[in-house]
Structure 1
């Protein structure tokens, strides 16, 4: 297998919201805020060639589907669809993708499925040859969101996925599209049914951490986001998740860390987790199944 980190459209969001109840005196040591208290965030995707014989994209970032007013509100930096450019730079087109794995359907992880916004144009799916893989529990959440997170979803997206005829809703640890090459586990602290995908490999593998651990600062167990539905549950899930990945030498792939794409884990004598072997980007990075 070969792995690429591919960037989608970037964001700047309020640092306080991204770090929940952690005070600024703590989190500003990790990420500097601007004059509006906003911090830079990537929307990074993972592209894998020859995974179960297929070309697979894990998530699609926020994309460029927002109208200008909403793009400004949610701090999206670029007007054009950056993910398509990043795929091209890696030598791929969106039509080359066989499978798109979606940890969840919040707009900053699934908005890149859609074409860029145009005045008076209806939303339209990209990736015409891909199977779209979504977890069953989160699929229900996306179709029946709570009022607290309704704005995090793209209202038209579920029906577009259904109409494509290429939607696979996953129950259990494996999908039909990828078989045992990818193992899923479920987290509920950020959003019900968040699906974490681990690429199984002989040398430890790679897990797409999604919003359970958006970047290196959130490896610290007490650190959560204000966007998390159930922060205490998320911390408990993170304890189990990190202990397992450290024991099996599984690398962490970060979607929102603006400076680090992937890292290995370590833990000190007091049980505190941190990262090592940090990579800012992946370009045809090899992984053996």
Structure 2
């Protein structure tokens, strides 16, 4: 197998309501895990996994990006004005045109907004990554084109049509694989957060890396009962999360989280006291071969 490297790079960051991010968990509990400001807002990162294998550069997730108008940036407390993902790629000696595959767990704006150019007055954002295949779950893609009233505000109007028009859209289902260079990506489909979301199980010579998507947005959500208010079907998500965590323990997999501002990844183990899987080792950064 070819040598494969993994590095977590950061896109634009936001702040969201902590109560919503922790669903039915009381504030007295979740404040032990994460700090909130006087308005109850917590830091939300855009952690994107860059995987380099042979001549291929794969990007898993793109974060919220910089496409939002100033009033929408204020609503979601987006901190940076410029497109931070493009800056992060440049630090790795790459541009968006060097990316061969963009793999998206789902098309909510905080995962797919980085696909678009930064906001400019009187100009519609353009789709970036001109040479990439865009890999999305087939069921979720259909849902994104006609979402439910409950979650339609999470989608970017017109993005699905932009992706389709490229001729480079690759739709996958759960259990299917993507083989690129020195790695194979197996897709795990879930319904709890949003219909048809795909988590990526990346098999490389160095081991298994799992891009959790919003099944587990960060270290605190490794706790099995903890879900988000944004989740469509919380109990189903818990069942799906258990499947992921049990397999992660069995394969000693590394979990990469999309939204944790403090820790981008973790390894997990079975906790005999809590009698469920819990973090064993957490990572503030990730850059490994």
CA displacement 1:132-173 (0-9 Å, x = unmatched)? 000111011101100000000001101110111111111343
CA displacement 1:105-143 (0-9 Å, x = unmatched)? 000000000000001101210101000000111011101
Runs of at least 5 residues in structure 2 that lack an aligned partner in the other structure: none
Aligned residues: 284
Counterpart position of 1:160: 162
Q: For structure 1, which segment, 200-209 or 182-191, has the greater mean C-alpha deviation from structure 2 after superposition? A: 200-209
CA distance 1:84–1:236, shift in 2 (3 Å): same
Counterpart position of 1:169: 171
Please point out which of 277, 283, 286 is paired with 1:273.
277
Q: Distance in 2 between matches of 1:93 and 1:198?
A: 25
Counterpart position of 2:35: 32
The offset of 1:203, in angstroms, is 4.4
Q: Tell me if the contact between 1:123 and 1:156 (Cα under 8 Å) persists in the aligned partners.
A: no
Q: Distance in 2 between matches of 1:150 and 1:74?
A: 16
The offset of 1:245, in angstroms, is 1.0
Q: Secondary structure at the match of 1:225?
A: coil
The offset of 1:261, in angstroms, is 1.2
Q: Distance in 1 between matches of 2:138 and 2:162?
A: 17
**1:200 equivalent in alignment to 2:200:** no
- TM-score (normalizing by structure 1): 0.95
Counterpart position of 2:100: 98
CA displacement 1:58-99 (0-9 Å, x = unmatched)? 010000000000111112111110000111112211110000
Q: Distance in 2 between matches of 1:240 and 1:176?
A: 21
**1:234 equivalent in alignment to 2:237:** yes
- TM-score (normalizing by structure 2): 0.95
Q: Distance in 2 between matches of 1:177 and 1:71?
A: 37
Q: Secondary structure at the match of 1:46?
A: strand
Q: Distance in 1 between matches of 2:175 and 2:74?
A: 38
Q: Tell me if the contact between 2:192 and 2:233 (Cα under 8 Å) persists in the aligned partners.
A: yes
Q: Secondary structure at the match of 1:211?
A: helix
The offset of 1:177, in angstroms, is 6.3
Query: What does 1:13-162 correspond to in 2, within 5 Å?
Result: 13-50=16-53, 53-162=55-164
Please point out which of 267, 279, 286 is paired with 1:282.
286
Q: Distance in 2 between matches of 1:128 and 1:33?
A: 38
Q: Tell me if the contact between 2:178 and 2:184 (Cα under 8 Å) persists in the aligned partners.
A: no
Query: What does 1:245-264 correspond to in 2, within 5 Å?
Result: 245-264=248-267
Q: For structure 1, which segment, 236-245 or 108-117, has the greater mean C-alpha deviation from structure 2 after superposition? A: 236-245
**1:4 equivalent in alignment to 2:1:** no
Q: Tell me if the contact between 1:5 and 1:44 (Cα under 8 Å) persists in the aligned partners.
A: yes
Q: Secondary structure at the match of 2:198?
A: strand
The offset of 1:202, in angstroms, is 4.2
Q: Tell me if the contact between 1:18 and 1:226 (Cα under 8 Å) persists in the aligned partners.
A: yes
